[in-house]
Amino acid sequence: MNWQIDLITLLLVIICGIGAISVKDLLGASILLGAYSFLMCVLWAVMGAVDVAFTEATVGAGVSTVICVAAVFQTTRRAKN
């Protein structure tokens, strides 16, 4: 019963991952990276690794997104290449 949700989440993970490296807007890229982390967190939780999911939600989706955004604010917002 769960495999449809798994498949959709996995597809979204891949989309977010590819989006994060191909988007020119660095702020958008860091937000996409946060979304990627959150979807990974959902996947961990589905697989029963709740501790890992919790860490991914706090560190990956929470603090590292904020740190990425803070770093973007110190540089230009558009990627050069």
Query: Where does this chain bind another protein (CB under 8 A)?
Result: 47-48, 50-51, 53-55, 58-59, 62-63, 66-67, 69-71, 73-74
Report the residue number, 8 or 50, with the smaller CB distance to another protein.
50
3-state helix, strand, coil in the chain (%, to 5): 80, 0, 15
Whole-number minimum distance, CB 19 to another protein, in Å? 16
Q: What single-letter DSSP state applies at residue 15?
A: H
Report the residue number, 58 or 79, with the smaller CB distance to another protein.
58
Whole-number minimum distance, CB 60 to another protein, in Å? 10
Measure the CA–CA gap between 25 and 28, rounded to whole angstroms: 5
Whole-number minimum distance, CB 20 to another protein, in Å? 15
Measure the CA–CA gap between 62 and 67, rounded to whole angstroms: 9
